[in-house]
Chains A and B, each alone.
Chain A
Amino acid sequence: MTEPQLLETPDREPGGTSEPGVRKPQTVARTRRRGGDDRSAETPYLQVRDLTVTFPTADGPVRAVQGLSYTLSLGRTLAVVGESGSGKSVSSMAIMGLHDPSSTRITGSISVGGQEIVGMSPAQLRRHRGGTAAMIFQDPPSSLHPYFTVGDQIVEAYRAHHKVSKRVARDRAVDLLGRVGIPNPRRRLDDHPHQFSGGMRQRAMIAMALVNDPKLLIADEPTTALDVTVQAQILDLIMDLQQDFGSAVLFITHDLGVVAEIADDVLVMYGGRAVEHGRVEAILGRPQHPYTWGLLESIPAVSGEPTRLHPIPGLPPSLLALPTGCSFHPRCEFAGRLDGACTRELPDLISRAADTTRTSRCHLPDPEQVFQTEILPRLP
Chain B
Amino acid sequence: MLIYLLRRIASAVSVIVVTLVASFGLFFVAPTDPAGVICGQRCTPERYADISASLNLDEPVVQQVGEYLKGLVAGRTYHSGGLTIDCDAPCLGYSYTLGQPVTKLIGQALPVTVSIVLGGAVVYLAVGILAGVVAARRRGTYLDRIMVGTSLGINAVPYFVLALLVALYATFLPHAGYHPLLENPLTWAVGLLAAWLTLGVANAAAYTRYARASMIETLGEDYIRTARAKGISERRVVYRHGLRAAVTPIATIFGLDLAFQLTGAIFTEAMFGLPGLGVLTLRAFNQYDLPVLMAGVLIGSVVLVAMNLLVDILYTILDPRVRLG
| Chain A residues with CB below 8 A from B241, complex form | 145, 148
Q: Closest A residue to B244 by CB, please name it.
A: A147
| Chain B residues with CB below 8 A from A131, complex form | 231
Instruction: State whether A146 touches B226 (Cβ < 8 A).
Output: no
Instruction: State whether B231 touches A128 (Cβ < 8 A).
Output: yes
Contact flag A130-B229 (CB < 8 Å), given A142-B222, A144-B223: yes
Instruction: State whether A147 touches B319 (Cβ < 8 A).
Output: yes
Instruction: State whether A194 touches B320 (Cβ < 8 A).
Output: yes
Contact residues, A124-151 vs B (CB, 8 A) = 125-131, 134-135, 137, 139, 142-148
Q: Closest B residue to A218 by CB, please name it.
A: B229
Contact residues, A147-177 vs B (CB, 8 A) = 147-148, 156-157, 160-161
Contact flag A145-B227 (CB < 8 Å), given A137-B222, A194-B321: yes
Instruction: State whether B230 touches A143 (Cβ < 8 A).
Output: no
**CA of A354 to CA of B226, assembled, Å:** 43
Instruction: State whether B225 touches A137 (Cβ < 8 A).
Output: yes
Instruction: State whether A160 touches B229 (Cβ < 8 A).
Output: no
**CA of A96 to CA of B225, assembled, Å:** 11
Q: How far is the CB of B36 from chain A (nearest CB, A)?
A: 59
Instruction: State whether A145 touches B223 (Cβ < 8 A).
Output: yes
Q: B245 interface residue, CB < 8 Å from A?
A: yes
Q: Closest A residue to B223 by CB, please name it.
A: A145
Tally of A-B residue pairs with Cβ under 8 A? Answer: 69
Produce 1/0 per residue, A200-218, CB < 8 A to B: 0000010010000000000
Picked from A96, A128, A146, the residue with its CB within 8 Å of the CB of B223 is A146
Instruction: State whether B222 touches A130 (Cβ < 8 A).
Output: no
Picked from B228, B244, B319, the residue with its CB within 8 Å of the CB of A129 is B228
Q: B83 interface residue, CB < 8 Å from A?
A: no
Produce 1/0 per residue, B296-325, CB < 8 A to A: 000000000000000000000011110000
Contact flag A135-B319 (CB < 8 Å), given A142-B221, A142-B223, A147-B244: no
Interface residue tally for chain A (C-beta within 8 Å): 29
Q: How far is the CB of B247 from chain A (nearest CB, A)?
A: 10
Tell me the dominant secondary structure on chain B's binding face: helix
Contact residues, A172-205 vs B (CB, 8 A) = 192, 194, 205
Q: Report which residue of B226, B230, B241 has the largest number of chain A beta carbons within 10 angstroms of its beta carbon.
A: B230
Q: A365 interface residue, CB < 8 Å from B?
A: no
Q: Closest A residue to B141 by CB, please name it.
A: A102
Q: Closest B residue to A123 by CB, please name it.
A: B233
**CA of A161 to CA of B232, assembled, Å:** 9
Contact flag A122-B321 (CB < 8 Å), given A98-B228, A145-B223, A146-B223: no
Instruction: State whether B245 touches A135 (Cβ < 8 A).
Output: no
Contact flag A146-B232 (CB < 8 Å), given A137-B222, A137-B226: no
Q: Closest B residue to A128 by CB, please name it.
A: B231
Instruction: State whether A126 touches B233 (Cβ < 8 A).
Output: yes
Q: B234 interface residue, CB < 8 Å from A?
A: yes
Q: Closest B residue to A129 by CB, please name it.
A: B231
Q: How far is the CB of A227 from chain B (nearest CB, A)?
A: 20
Instruction: State whether A144 touches B232 (Cβ < 8 A).
Output: no
**CA of A192 to CA of B241, assembled, Å:** 14
Contact flag A129-B229 (CB < 8 Å), given A146-B320, A194-B321: yes
Instruction: State whether A134 touches B229 (Cβ < 8 A).
Output: yes
| Chain A residues with CB below 8 A from B221, complex form | 142
| Chain A residues with CB below 8 A from B318, complex form | 147
Instruction: State whether B230 touches A129 (Cβ < 8 A).
Output: yes
Q: How far is the CB of A97 from chain B (nearest CB, A)?
A: 9
Produce 1/0 per residue, B6-38, CB < 8 A to A: 000000000000000000000000000000000
Q: Closest A residue to B221 by CB, please name it.
A: A142
Q: How far is the CB of B244 from chain A (nearest CB, A)?
A: 5
| Chain B residues with CB below 8 A from A127, complex form | 231
**CA of A117 to CA of B234, assembled, Å:** 18
Instruction: State whether B228 touches A143 (Cβ < 8 A).
Output: no
Q: Closest B residue to A127 by CB, please name it.
A: B231
Contact flag A147-B245 (CB < 8 Å), given A98-B225, A137-B225, A142-B221: yes
**CA of A154 to CA of B223, assembled, Å:** 13
| Chain A residues with CB below 8 A from B226, complex form | 137, 143-145, 205, 208
Instruction: State whether A192 touches B321 (Cβ < 8 A).
Output: yes
Contact flag A122-B245 (CB < 8 Å), given A98-B225, A192-B320, A194-B321: no
Q: How far is the CB of A62 from chain B (nearest CB, A)?
A: 16
Q: Closest B residue to A209 by CB, please name it.
A: B229
Instruction: State whether B321 touches A143 (Cβ < 8 A).
Output: no
Instruction: State whether A135 touches B229 (Cβ < 8 A).
Output: yes
Instruction: State whether B225 touches A130 (Cβ < 8 A).
Output: no
Contact residues, B206-240 vs A (CB, 8 A) = 221-223, 225-234
| Chain B residues with CB below 8 A from A134, complex form | 229
Q: Report which residue of B221, B244, B320 has the largest number of chain A beta carbons within 10 angstroms of its beta carbon.
A: B320
**CA of A45 to CA of B324, assembled, Å:** 51
Q: Closest B residue to A212 by CB, please name it.
A: B231
| Chain A residues with CB below 8 A from B245, complex form | 145-147
A98-B228, A122-B234 given; name 6 further pairs at CB < 8 Å.
Answer: A98-B229, A131-B231, A146-B321, A148-B244, A160-B231, A194-B320
* Shortest beta-carbon contacts, A-B, top 4: A130-B231, A129-B231, A142-B222, A130-B230
- B residues whose Cβ falls under 8 Å from a Cβ of A: 221-223, 225-234, 241, 244-245, 318-321
- A residues whose Cβ falls under 8 Å from a Cβ of B: 96, 98, 122, 125-131, 134-135, 137, 139, 142-148, 156-157, 160-161, 192, 194, 205, 208
Some 30 contacts from A to B, beta carbons below 8 A apart, are A96-B229, A126-B231, A126-B233, A129-B228, A129-B229, A129-B230, A129-B231, A130-B230, A130-B231, A137-B222, A137-B225, A137-B226, A139-B222, A142-B221, A143-B222, A143-B223, A146-B319, A146-B320, A146-B321, A147-B319, A156-B232, A157-B230, A160-B231, A160-B232, A192-B320, A192-B321, A194-B320, A194-B321, A205-B226, A208-B226
